[in-house]
A and B are shown apart, each in its own frame.
Chain A
Amino acid sequence: QKEVEQNSGPLSVPEGAIASLNCTYSDRVSQSFFWYRQYSGKSPELIMSIYSNGDKEDGRFTAQLNKASQYVSLLIRDSQPSDSATYLCAVRGDNYGQNFVFGPGTRLSVLP
């Protein structure tokens, strides 16, 4: 059974700080990793995808992947109150399918 784990939080950071969100996964052969943001009452929206070891940056967001440690993280720089949401880590269960395994999500609260 593939598993994806995240700290459920809540993670509270002051405005302007760096928020660090972590995710571990159990299936060593997983190749594709995704971060989604979900506001309360809304559907998940894709933030970033990452497939190779190392860092991938997009604006204030940086995804980091370490396949040897089966670990993926998301850094949010200059956090804003509008970043307050639940962040979901997703791992593709099949490289050609869309059967993602989602973590439980980390609730982030950015305090003004």
Chain B
Amino acid sequence: KAGVTQTPRYLIKTRGQQVTLSCSPISGHRSVSWYQQTPGQGLQFLFEYFSETQRNKGNFPGRFSGRQFSNSRSEMNVSTLELGDSALYLCASSVQGEGAEAFFGQGTRLTVV
């Protein structure tokens, strides 16, 4: 069974640009969540999608957005990039249900210069 796949693995962008990251969940998983990991702030929750609907949202500015498609694949978009957006962006997928475990993809390393 294939794991969570994130593309691209690495990205270098310039301040002010926008970026789109992609996540394909484990087959059968309908919940996809996104996290930002930085050395200073650790792992922070961005948002979660289930059945194409945003179910939960973390405390990030509106420049961070996402969506989920009918096949459960998800994308996140960051507009007007800032230097502080440089981070490892992680996607996790799970089945629906109380106590369900989440499995992470390999992440996308975004560097903003």
Contacts and interface: CB of A to CB of B under 8 A. Distances in A.
Interface stretch (A21-29, A62-70, A73-81, A93-101): A93-101
Given A32-B99, A93-B56, A98 B92 contact: yes
A51 B97 CA distance: 13
Contacts of A51: 99
A106 to B, nearest CB: 12
Contact of B43 (A42, A88, A92, A96): A88
A101 B45 contact: yes
Interface string A37-60: 000001111100101000000000
A32 B31 CA distance: 16
B81 to A, nearest CB: 22
B48 A98 contact: yes
**Residue from B33, B43, B48, B106 with most neighbouring chain A CB atoms (10 Å):** B43
Contact of A99 (B42, B56, B98, B104): B56
Chain A contact residues, majority secondary structure? loop
Nearest to A104: B42
Query: Which bucket holds chain B's interface residue count?
Result: 20 to 34
A87 interface: no
A102 B99 contact: no
Contacts of A99: 33, 45, 48, 56, 58
B66 interface: no
19 contacts: A32-B99, A43-B104, A43-B106, A44-B43, A45-B104, A46-B103, A46-B104, A92-B99, A95-B98, A95-B99, A97-B50, A98-B32, A99-B45, A99-B56, A102-B42, A102-B43, A102-B44, A103-B42, A105-B42
Interface of B: 31-33, 35, 42-45, 48, 50, 55-56, 58, 88, 90, 92, 94, 96-107
Given A46-B101, A98-B48, A103-B42, 9 more contacts: A31-B99, A36-B104, A93-B56, A95-B98, A97-B48, A99-B33, A100-B43, A100-B45, A104-B42
Interface of A: 31-32, 34, 36, 42-46, 49, 51, 88, 92-105
